[in-house]
Amino acid sequence: MGIRVRRGHLAAALLLNFLISCLTHPSLQPLPYMPLLNPLDLWQIAMLACAIYWWRAISDNLHEAISAAAGIWTISGLGFIYLNTLLLRTLYAATELPFRFEPMMRSDLVQTCRSIFWALLGVALLVAANKLLRRQTWIVGMSLIGVVVAKLFLVDLSSSGTVERIVSFIVVGLLLLGVGYLAPLPDRTREDGSSEALTDQV
């Protein structure tokens, strides 16, 4: 029990360090910032990998529902935070925008890239859910698409005259048009059947 508690404390400390690293300035002098190929991104990717490994190591000793829900949602949330941080770091390196919250959130380019990026993530989740017959994943993807649509009207529409915001409306609109064709909601019967077949194979 003591070893498990210490491992839990270590995992919590690593995840806290992961979140703090998201706020770290990406310029690591004298090294130039290169997305993914830099000590900061590599460190965060390694921490995510450790979190996945730790969760899989303890999942057999926990209640199935608790381990699945808590582990998947926590790691998915951290991955989403990291991908957004990676996007902001890349924009900082490409445009030399100040890596601070207020200037970034006021930038039309940042808001456009976030809308398109979130929409792409949502569509990717929808397509994956359709292929894997996962209704919950499809619902998560559609929820993210809903957040993007709300953001377009509540945030992006406030500066609708800019070229960046017009581009975001066009790109997200095209993605939404293809969602129904590429990734319809998986049928519950097919999902249950595939889960039973997988269980029988195991």
Residue 192 has pLDDT above 80, yes or no: no
Q: Residue 125's domain spans which residues? A: 107-202
State pLDDT tens for residues 144-157: 988 988 888 887 77
Q: What is the pLDDT of residue 51?
A: 79
Alpha-carbon distance of 82 to 89, in angstroms, equals 10
* DSSP secondary structure of 89-108: HHHHHHH---SSHHHHHH-H
In a domain, 189, yes or no: yes
Q: What is the pLDDT of residue 201?
A: 37
In a domain, 144, yes or no: yes
In a domain, 76, yes or no: no
Conformation bin of residue 26: beta by default, left when phi > 0, alpha when psi is -120 to 50: alpha
Distance set, CA 83 to CA 107, 116, 118, 181, 188 (Å)? 18, 13, 10, 27, 31
State pLDDT tens for residues 100-137: 888 888 888 888 899 889 989 988 888 888 787 777 88
Are 103 and 160 within 8 A, CB to CB? Answer: no
In a domain, 173, yes or no: yes
Give the count of domains, the chain.
1
Question: Structure tokens of 106?
Answer: 């006021």
In a domain, 178, yes or no: yes
* DSSP secondary structure of 28-43: BTTBPP-SSSSHHHHH
In a domain, 78, yes or no: no
In a domain, 135, yes or no: yes
In a domain, 115, yes or no: yes
Q: Please tell me which residue, 161 or 57, carries the higher pLDDT value.
A: 57
Residue-averaged pLDDT of the chain: 77
